[in-house]
Amino acid sequence: MDISYILNELGEDREHYFNAVAPPIVQASNFAFKTVDAMSKAFEDEMGGYLYSRGLNPTVDILRKKLAALDQAEDCLVFNSGAAAIFAGVLANVKSGDHIVSVKNPYSWAQKMFDVVLPRFGVQTTYIDGTRLENWQLAAKDNTSFFYLESPNSWDFALQPLQEVAAFAKERRIVTMIDNSYSTPVYQPVIPLGIDLAMQTATKYIGGHSDTLGGVLCGSHAMMKKIFDSEYLGTGSGIQPFNAWLLIRGLRTLQARLERVSRSTQEVLAFLKQHPAIESVIFPFDTSFPQLELARKQMKDAFGLMTLVLKTDNRQSIVRFCESLKHILMAVSWGGHESLVIPKCAGIPAADFNPANREHRYVRLYVGLEEPSYIIEDLRQALSRM
Ligand SMILES: *Cc1c(COP(=O)(O)O)cnc(C)c1O
């Protein structure tokens, strides 16, 4: 399907709302029925029509249709955050006694679910280096029901061979889910590779303006219905109509923003790679990246996030670099208009800082929508103060 059609037209029924170009926010909790039969039908299958906005809502439905099409999936559910989408996707597919295999260092709240929540219900998780198919094969046990992927992974951008892992999982009837937030389905379509559940946080590139949260799960009708009838309705974690409207608004400019971020990333990367205060830059499409070939095979492009390894033997110079930035903000999240940094050492007690551990010298950079020269100048002056 044409991406311009998806972003500008699909799911929109303008003649039903005064031919307004932007859709209305249907800010209603409940929907009225004319007949008892119609109400009965809605009770029987809440995914079949409008009953109550904890289930379906017309504004959210426009967004669902667009996001399903972007992912080349049959259906989609949109949650109030990416973390809520992860929880629902995993919980719906495991039961007491099951075993999960996950990439090591998945998104922090996925890891918390695996380490803290699921063991209370008798579900155990094994973390592996997901870069090689053999590691998934070796880790799979008789009771393994779920593979959790994140490609590229945070900070080191490690990739998993998606098509191979999905094919092996299918043979073993193991459900696969991926956190596809880095690439989005536009640059890494994962459903055509055989992945069952495609998750992305909508807080990042879909929203794009750092003003709302959201989370996306895409997959088959049957899978989405299973999640809708249980976790989605039961936890009430669906997105609110206004936030859905903001995400539809974000989608209008998704491609233009991603193209801009991609071009700027190239310029910023070229500057950083030759800077004497930078030991190396970790970035999936860089010639120094150990999985460059796989990156080029399964991703159409890489941009936005990269990890800088600063050349220093002390924490203070990392602090000086981050605190000297005049325009680039120090904040979590990414995917918005604003460039951002997070120093890894902010999450490590100062006394434990060890410069011999290269990870302690990581600073994650997100390249936003500012002029590349503006971003580079800010990096240059802050690096000079290290
Ligand atoms: C932000 C993020 C999430 C979580 O999304 P929220 O919308 O913040 O809940 C999950 N995975 C990745 C890779 C993220 O960057």
Each residue's pLDDT tens digit, 342-351: 999 999 999 9
243 Cβ inside 6 Å of ligand 1: no
Residue 302 makes CB contacts below 8 A (sequence gap 6+) with: 152, 157, 182, 183, 187, 265, 283, 284, 285, 295
Residues 6+ apart with CB under 8 A from 218: 67, 68, 71, 73, 75, 76, 185, 191, 197, 198, 199, 224
For the Cβ of 107 lying below 6 angstroms from any atom of ligand 1, the answer is yes
Whether residue 304 has its Cβ less than 6 Å from ligand 1: no
Average pLDDT over residues 143-158: 97
CA 202 to ligand 1: nearest atom: 7
The pLDDT of residue 202 is: 98
Ligand 1 contact via 80 beta carbon (within 6 Å): no
- Measured in angstroms, how far is the CA atom of residue 201 from the centroid of ligand 1? 5
**pLDDT tens-digit map of 152-197:** 999 999 999 999 999 999 999 999 999 999 999 999 999 999 999 9
Same domain, 236 and 264: no
Residue 89 phi/psi, 5-degree rounding, is -65, -40
53 close to ligand 1 (CB < 6 Angstrom): no
User: Does 137 share its domain with 191?
Assistant: yes
Q: Of 86, 183, 203, 205, which is best to mutate to test ligand 1, by the most ligand atoms within 8 angstroms of its C-beta?
A: 203
Q: Could you say which of 199, 217, 252 is where a domain stops?
A: 252
Quote the crossing angle between the two packed helices 254-273 and 372-383, to the nearest 10°.
30
For position 181, which CATH number holds?
3.40.640.10
Q: What's the mean pLDDT when you consider all of the chain?
A: 98
Counting from 1 in the atom list of ligand 1, the atom nearest the Cα of 150 is 13
For residue 46, give its domain range.
Answer: 3-252
CA–centroid distance, residue 328 to ligand 1 (Å): 20
Q: What is the pLDDT of residue 54?
A: 98
Q: What is the pLDDT of residue 224?
A: 98
Q: Residue length, the chain?
A: 386
For 351, how many CA atoms within 13 A lie in the half-sphere containing its CB?
Answer: 0
Q: Are residues 239 and 156 in the same domain?
A: yes
Name the nearest CA neighbour of 216 among 60, 49, 336. Answer: 60
Cβ-Cβ contacts under 8 Å for 5 (sequence gap 6 or more): none
Q: How many CB atoms are closer than 10 A to CB 374?
A: 13
- Any ligand 1 atom below 6 A from CB of 98: no
- Ligand 1 pocket mutation, candidates 81, 204, 205, 366, criterion most atoms within 8 A of CB: 204
Residues 32 and 145 in one domain: yes
Q: Per-residue confidence at 216, pLDDT binned at 50, 70, 90?
A: very high
203 lines ligand 1 (CB under 6 A): yes
Contact call for residues 317 and 310 (beta carbons, < 8 A) = yes
Please indicate, yes or no, whether residues 310 and 331 belong to a single structural domain of this protein. yes
pLDDT by residue (tens digit) across 295-319? 999 999 999 999 999 999 999 999 9
Identify the three-state secondary structure at position 49.
coil
What pLDDT sits at residue 213? 98
Predicted local distance difference test score (pLDDT) of residue 87: 98
User: Cβ distance 271 to 379 under 8 Å?
Assistant: yes
Q: Is the C-beta atom of 215 inside 6 A of ligand 1? A: yes
Ramachandran sector of residue 252 (left: φ over 0; alpha: ψ -120 to 50; beta: rest): alpha
Same domain, 165 and 36: yes
Specify the number of domains making up the chain. Answer: 2
Between CA 159 and CA 145 the distance in angstroms is: 21
Q: Which two tokens stand for residue 5?
A: 């059609």
pLDDT the model gives residue 220: 98
* pLDDT at residue 306 in the model: 98
Which strands sit side by side in the sheet containing 329-330, from one edge to the other?
278-282, 305-310, 362-366, 340-343, 329-330
Q: Ligand 1: distance of its center to the CA of 14 in Å?
A: 32
Of 189, 218, 252, the one marking the end of a domain is 252
What's the rounded mean pLDDT across residues 27-35?
A: 98
Residue 101 phi/psi, 5-degree rounding, is -110, 125
- Tell me the two tokens of residue 285: 């499409």
Q: Which residues pair with 176 in a beta bridge?
A: 147
> Is the same domain home to 198 and 309?
no
Atom of ligand 1 lying closest to residue 213 CA? 7
The answer, yes or no, to whether any atom of ligand 1 lies below 6 A from the CB of 81, is: yes
pTM for the complete prediction? 0.97
Distance CA 363, CA 340 (A): 10
Last residue of a domain, one of 252, 281, 302: 252
Contact 123, 100 (CB under 8 A): yes
Strands 362-366 and 340-343: antiparallel
Average pLDDT value for residue range 227-235? 97
Is any atom of ligand 1 closer than 6 Å to the C-beta of 265?
no
User: The CATH number of the domain where 349 resides is what?
Assistant: 3.90.1150.10
Please check whether residues 182 and 260 belong to one and the same domain: no
Region 95-99: what's the mean pLDDT? 98
Among protein residues, the one whose CA lies closest to atom 2 of ligand 1 = 201
Q: Do 229 and 305 fall within a single domain?
A: no
How far, in Å, is the centroid of ligand 1 from the Cα of 3?
A: 24
249-291: per-residue pLDDT in tens? 999 999 999 999 999 999 999 999 999 999 999 999 999 999 9
